[in-house]
Amino acid sequence: MQWAYWNPVRIRFGAGLFDEVAGLIGKRRWALVTYDQPIFKELSERLVAAAGAPVATITNIETNPDCADLVESCRLFGAAAQRAEVIVALGGGSMIDAAKVLAASGGDFETVRRHLVDKVPLDASDIVPIIAVPTTAGTGSEVTSWATVWDSANGSKYSLAHPRLYPETAVLDPALTIGAPRGLTLATGLDALSHALESIWNVNGNPVSANYAVEAAREILDTLPRLLDEPGDIDLRVRQMRASLLAGLAFSNTKTALAHNISYDITLKSGTIHGIACSFSLPMVMRWAMGVQPQCDAALRRVFGPDLEAGAEHLTAFLQNLGVKTEPSAYGVSQADWNRLVDKALEGERGRNFIGRQAAKAA
C-alpha cells in the first residue's frame, strides 16, 4: 500500500491565542473578512487596536458564501487603496471560505468564476496568504485548501481548490466559541463528525488520516451531547474544537465522500443547514461501507466497537437523541427522489471518493 500525507498549515491552539493574531500580521498590509455582528465588531476592534487599521474590511458574507454576494466582496477587496498582503478570516467556515475566494480573486470575482466554471487556471503567484481564526468548531476550513462556493440562483455548488489556499496559519482559540448558540454548536459539531467518518470510508484514506479521524469521531461522540447541555464549559469547548481540527486534518488529505455529496442537493432544495444535511445520512452510508475494505472496518471498530451493525445503530440513536431526524422523508425527499439523489451523488466528485459505491447502488 502506497500513501502520502501533507498539510502545510502552521497551527496555534489554545484559549487566549486570539491576541497573537496581530503579531502574525506583523507589518504587512492586511484585509479583514468577518461578520457584521456585535461580537465580531468587538473582536475586530481589539485586533485593529493591536495591528492597525486594515486596508479593507469585508462584512457582507453570511452562511454559505454565494456568488451573488462574493461579486461585491471581491469588488470591495479590489477597491482598497493599497493591495492587502495578508487576509485575516475571523468567523466560521463561511468566513474562511470567503477569504479563500478573495485571496484567489485579484479583486475581481470573474477570475474565480472563470476558474470554477471554465477551468481557467488560477495564477498561484497572485494568491494572497490567509490567517484563519475560526470561531466555530466544525468546518475544518482553517486547515484545508478548498472553499465551497454556492450559486443559489442556478442551483449549483462549486469547490474552489488550490494548494496555495491552505491558510499560512490557523489560530484556534476555543474561548471564541463560548456563546455560540445551540443550533450552531450542533450543526458545526455534526459537520466535524461527518468529516471524520467520511475520511474513513474514503478511497483516499491512509494511516495518518485514519488516526486523526478515529480520534476526532470518538471525541465528538463523547463530547458533543454534553457540550449542548453545558455550552459554557470551556473544557468541553476545547475538546470539541480539538476534535474539529483533527477531523479537518483528516479530510484535508482525503476530501469528503458520499454523505457530503448527498447534502448539497438537500441544502439547495430545502435550505437545511449544512451540518445537518451532511450528517443525517451517516448511519445509512456507514452500512454501505461496512465489509468493503478491511482498513475501513478496522478504523470504524476503533470508533464504534467490534460490532459494526451495533455501531451503526448507536450512530442513529446518537443523531436522533440530538434531535436530528435520520429519514430522508424528514427533509422532504420521497423514496423515489432519494434513490435518484443517491445515484446522482455517487457520480459527484465527493461521491466517487466513497468505497461503498457498489453497495449504495444496489440498495
- The whole-number pLDDT of residue 93 equals 95
Q: For the purposes of burial, counting CB atoms within 10 Å of the CB of 178, is it exposed (0-12), middle (13-18) or buried (19 or more)?
A: middle
Domain residues of the chain, as ranges? 10-175, 179-362
- The whole-number pLDDT of residue 64 equals 87
Q: Domain 179-362 is in which class?
A: mainly alpha
- Global model pTM greater than 0.85: yes
- The whole-number pLDDT of residue 135 equals 98
Distance, CA of 83 to CA of 106 (rounded, Å): 9
**What are the average pLDDT values for consecutive 10-residue runs of the chain, which has 363 residues?**
94 97 98 96 98 98 91 97 98 97 97 96 96 97 96 90 98 97 97 98 98 98 98 98 98 97 92 96 98 98 98 98 97 95 95 96 88
Architecture of domain 10-175: 3-Layer(aba) Sandwich (3.40)
Distance, CA of 212 to CA of 250 (rounded, Å): 5
Beta pairing, strands 156-161 & 146-151: antiparallel
Q: Do residues 71 and 109 lie in contact, with contact meaning Cβ atoms separated by under 8 Å?
A: yes
Q: Do residues 152 and 109 lie in contact, with contact meaning Cβ atoms separated by under 8 Å?
A: no
- The whole-number pLDDT of residue 268 equals 87
Please give the sequence-ordered ranges of beta strands (E in DSSP) within 67-214, or none if there are none: 86-91, 130-134, 146-151, 156-161, 169-172
